[in-house]
A and B are shown apart, each in its own frame.
Chain A
């Protein structure tokens, strides 16, 4: 009897091993050599006044394997051959002039689209944003050695040839804080109409307090001090004491500086700042938007339940502010490195790509490229102010790994900057 039991046990053990082996063998037997794929791209247009996408650039980007294919749109359907199977971001982008004479930058696409035999047809809806006068010009998020993060800053720029006002324009950093493939789940009724903010700020003013002329930059610092001082971090590359605004969190160890304070609007469902001692966005790279509420509308994500939500895929109680995509003036998404472009979290209509510095606490940042013509000459407005490249694709629009410089290319400081006020 004992002998039979041992035989049974040995038999069960052998069966277990062989069964495990059989499953993995069965799966592996079916695998064939890789072969190039032909993909069919079908499009639809989300703007009534735009009827054709001819001439728009079509890009297939596999950021993980760094494979890229570029074609030009003709008609509403396109066949692209020789694609290596993988996960792709497909973008259709370019400038069009609509039937009413407005300039739009069209963007459409799909992020993280798997392409392989049996799944080689994709449908893309292409929509557009009017070309924005106010853009992110430079963002320094990575911090400096050894692990100093208080020197972060964000520089906005008037890229147009018209005067605009910063009063009432919002700034927010988006969720998820860093690029990740484990994306949140938002309410299905939101569709693709919103992005979701961790914390929201606003420029103060009565409507005309803070003008920004063509060619002028506005710098918002996390902490508007000279970070190169010995009391802070001599390794820091920046002196933010001339910043125009700062994100003052009332931290007595890092007291309020002469720069103007941004107004706090929203954090975790409340108007109060909370207990976090500084406004720190991820040193690996966050996603940032500036947006403007249309005249006659109000934006109250604290009290309006339709303008805040939780992440439905998480048990956390953190509340995020909804930002309508139609309000967004500019958006930039940054991540850890090139391969994390596959984990982008901003809709492609706002930013079709992702930029990066590639390491943390390295004292380097991202800086927008100047627009050049076909001959390589830097383009500018009639008054000499530089025009920066803005294709709503931060992969293409930004230099990566630059040493941070406030008001790079000598862009002008607004006249109301605190350093220009007579004492």
Chain B
């Protein structure tokens, strides 16, 4: 057991050693799970899109590796989520200072088995803001893999100016297991250069830019070539075109540009404000051999956040307010095939916006932490969030709306079992309740008898307007590996139960186990 944990520590450390030999600033004597939570709560610049701000964060050195297994089941889910499923994950994260450069790195791998899904035959994540994909009615499983790598570096040019860069690379593979099946590959590459100017020790101004490139390829096929499958090409809110055969090849190509402004006041209260805007255009093309423009999305995201932290002698108070406004315009094309030799292929004649998807999210989280050394003895939090979704298909008109208010209360107790080997038991409970304020789905387009309208969109709306409540229980046991070795090992268990009160839904249960090490 110790041998394997040491190996995990060595491999995790190897990731960070790619940035050369570290020279340390602040280090914690103990990196318990509660201490790591406290570090993350205080690390306000890490939650922004500005990597350069790390220069003015007194974030101590830390690293962790974590491996776990999750299982979920229950009827309270959206039609495209699985009736049940499981997931294996491995992740690693670390933060250190090399001379003056602040360096942060992250890696994760997830392998998901999603069982009993419907109405998705051509996209790995149908909830990522892309309404144009292919659906079918056959119950199927998906096997997905996700790789996520990220880094942040920040370097102070002088006493007032720091530059930073964040990079992310995400690769996903997805495979649907029943005809019409699909094999999907997706990658996203993100770069965020940033600058922070420090007026004095109290006032810091930041600006960051963001660019990411996204590509997803979907190749549909039938293993049983004797049976042609019925599928539906979706165009939003139940509008669909029926097809018969083995589906299609789809190419999603997206580019996003954006920027953000940050302001930090670091006095008695640590205040960090950020406003950001991102605009993405993602095109959907059918077929790789004779590409046809099918549709596009214009995706605009406005985000504003404010974090207030009062870090006193005994207590730490934190208030976090976030507002996100997302506006997606769905564009459809009029195309025609030209088989004259000079123009052979699909010609795009015209395009217009046929649908709009608007979402407003507002949330507030208050945290009160009783400090103990570099960790905490207990923490309590209260949260409230509001979401307003409004989707419209312009002509023929259809709409789908939902407004929800969710409230939560929770807390954790960090029990000191023994100072020898720093044995801790961190137990937590969260209670939440979602109240639906309004919702409706009016479909006035063609083929209202299609299962896309009657079974998919209708059931999806039912999910979005269901009142539900739930509880989340967690427990983490941790201790040092050896008295003179700073690294902690832990074992974690988490159970979340959500009970739906409306329609045909019952519950959703998620159980997770993981082991890891903080060092």
Query: Do A and B come from the same complex?
Result: yes
Report which A residues bind B (CB closer than 8 A): 17-18, 20-21, 24-25, 27-28, 31-36, 64-67, 84-87, 112, 114, 116-117, 119, 146-147, 181-185, 284, 313, 336-339, 358-361
Contact A336 B339 (CB under 8 A): no
8 Å CB contact of A28 from B226, B243, B298, B447: B298
Given known contacts A67-B446, A85-B334, A116-B350, A34 and B298 CB-to-CB distance under 8 angstroms = no
8 Å CB contact of A337 from B242, B298, B395: B242
Contact A284 B244 (CB under 8 A): yes
Cβ of B328 to closest chain A Cβ, rounded Å: 12
Contact B228 A65 (CB under 8 A): no
Instruction: Enumerate chain B residues within 8 angstroms of A116, measured Cβ to Cβ.
Output: 334, 349-350, 352
Contact A32 B353 (CB under 8 A): yes
Instruction: Enumerate chain A residues within 8 angstroms of B337, measured Cβ to Cβ.
Output: 181-183
8 Å CB contact of B339 from A21, A25, A65, A313: A313
Number of interface residues of B (CB under 8 A): 39
Instruction: Enumerate chain B residues within 8 angstroms of A67, measured Cβ to Cβ.
Output: 396, 446
Cβ of B60 to closest chain A Cβ, rounded Å: 32
Contact B394 A33 (CB under 8 A): yes
8 Å CB contact of A182 from B211, B339, B353, B447: B339
8 Å CB contact of A17 from B213, B351, B447: B213
Cβ of B178 to closest chain A Cβ, rounded Å: 17
Instruction: State A192–B446 Cα separation when bound (angstroms).
Output: 33
8 Å CB contact of B352 from A34, A119, A339: A34
Contact A185 B339 (CB under 8 A): yes
Instruction: State A146–B227 Cα separation when bound (angstroms).
Output: 8
Instruction: Enumerate chain B residues within 8 angstroms of A146, measured Cβ to Cβ.
Output: 226-227
8 Å CB contact of B211 from A17, A183, A184, A361: A17
Instruction: Enumerate chain B residues within 8 angstroms of A25, measured Cβ to Cβ.
Output: 255, 257, 279, 281
Interface core residue of A31, A35, A64 (most chain B CB under 10 Å): A31
Given known contacts A28-B296, A34-B352, A87 and B334 CB-to-CB distance under 8 angstroms = yes
8 Å CB contact of B331 from A31, A35, A184: A31
8 Å CB contact of A87 from B211, B329, B336, B339: B336
Instruction: State A287–B72 Cα separation when bound (angstroms).
Output: 51
Contact B352 A85 (CB under 8 A): yes
Q: Is B342 an interface residue (CB 8 A)?
A: no
Instruction: Enumerate chain B residues within 8 angstroms of A21, measured Cβ to Cβ.
Output: 211, 213, 255, 257, 281
Instruction: Enumerate chain A residues within 8 angstroms of B339, measured Cβ to Cβ.
Output: 182-185, 313
Q: Is B470 an interface residue (CB 8 A)?
A: no
Instruction: State A35–B397 Cα separation when bound (angstroms).
Output: 12
Instruction: Enumerate chain A residues within 8 angstroms of B281, measured Cβ to Cβ.
Output: 21, 24-25, 27-28
Instruction: Enumerate chain A residues within 8 angstroms of B353, measured Cβ to Cβ.
Output: 31-34
8 Å CB contact of A66 from B213, B245, B253, B446: B446
* A interface footprint on B243-258 (CB within 8 Å = 1, 0 otherwise): 1110000000101010
Enumerate 19 A-B pairs (CB-CB under 8 Å) in ascending A order: A17-B211, A17-B213, A17-B255, A21-B211, A21-B257, A24-B253, A24-B281, A28-B296, A31-B298, A33-B394, A67-B396, A85-B352, A114-B350, A117-B350, A146-B227, A181-B337, A184-B339, A337-B243, A360-B228
Cβ of B280 to closest chain A Cβ, rounded Å: 9
Given known contacts A17-B211, A28-B298, A65 and B349 CB-to-CB distance under 8 angstroms = no
Instruction: State A359–B298 Cα separation when bound (angstroms).
Output: 36
Instruction: Enumerate chain A residues within 8 angstroms of B257, measured Cβ to Cβ.
Output: 21, 25
Instruction: Enumerate chain A residues within 8 angstroms of B329, measured Cβ to Cβ.
Output: 31
Instruction: Enumerate chain B residues within 8 angstroms of A147, measured Cβ to Cβ.
Output: 226-227
8 Å CB contact of B244 from A27, A85, A359: A359
Given known contacts A33-B352, A34-B354, A359 and B230 CB-to-CB distance under 8 angstroms = yes
Which 9 pairs from chain A and chain B are nearest by CB? Answer: A66-B446, A21-B255, A116-B350, A34-B352, A147-B226, A28-B281, A33-B353, A336-B244, A181-B337
Contact A24 B255 (CB under 8 A): yes
Contact A65 B241 (CB under 8 A): yes
Instruction: Enumerate chain B residues within 8 angstroms of A24, measured Cβ to Cβ.
Output: 253, 255, 281, 283, 296
Instruction: Enumerate chain A residues within 8 angstroms of B340, measured Cβ to Cβ.
Output: 185
Instruction: Enumerate chain B residues within 8 angstroms of A183, measured Cβ to Cβ.
Output: 337, 339
Instruction: State A325–B488 Cα separation when bound (angstroms).
Output: 86
Contact B336 A112 (CB under 8 A): yes
Task: Determine the residue in chain B with the shortest Cβ distance to A84.
Answer: B395
Instruction: State A81–B331 Cα separation when bound (angstroms).
Output: 22
Instruction: State A67–B211 Cα separation when bound (angstroms).
Output: 40
8 Å CB contact of A86 from B211, B239, B334: B334
The residues in B between 388 and 411 inclusive whose CB is less than 8 angstroms from any CB of A are 394-396
Contact A20 B255 (CB under 8 A): yes
Task: Determine the residue in chain A with the shortest Cβ distance to B348.
Answer: A27
* A interface footprint on B445-461 (CB within 8 Å = 1, 0 otherwise): 01100000000000000
Cβ of A187 to closest chain B Cβ, rounded Å: 14
Cβ of B247 to closest chain A Cβ, rounded Å: 13
Instruction: State A313–B350 Cα separation when bound (angstroms).
Output: 25
Task: Determine the residue in chain A with the shortest Cβ distance to B446.
Answer: A66
Given known contacts A28-B296, A337-B243, A34 and B446 CB-to-CB distance under 8 angstroms = no
Instruction: Enumerate chain A residues within 8 angstroms of B255, measured Cβ to Cβ.
Output: 17, 20-21, 24-25
Instruction: State A337–B339 Cα separation when bound (angstroms).
Output: 23
8 Å CB contact of A114 from B331, B336, B446: B336
Contact B213 A360 (CB under 8 A): no
Instruction: Enumerate chain B residues within 8 angstroms of A86, measured Cβ to Cβ.
Output: 334
Instruction: State A418–B331 Cα separation when bound (angstroms).
Output: 61
Contact A84 B244 (CB under 8 A): no
Contact B244 A65 (CB under 8 A): no
Contact A85 B350 (CB under 8 A): yes
Contact A336 B245 (CB under 8 A): yes
Instruction: Enumerate chain B residues within 8 angstroms of A20, measured Cβ to Cβ.
Output: 213, 255
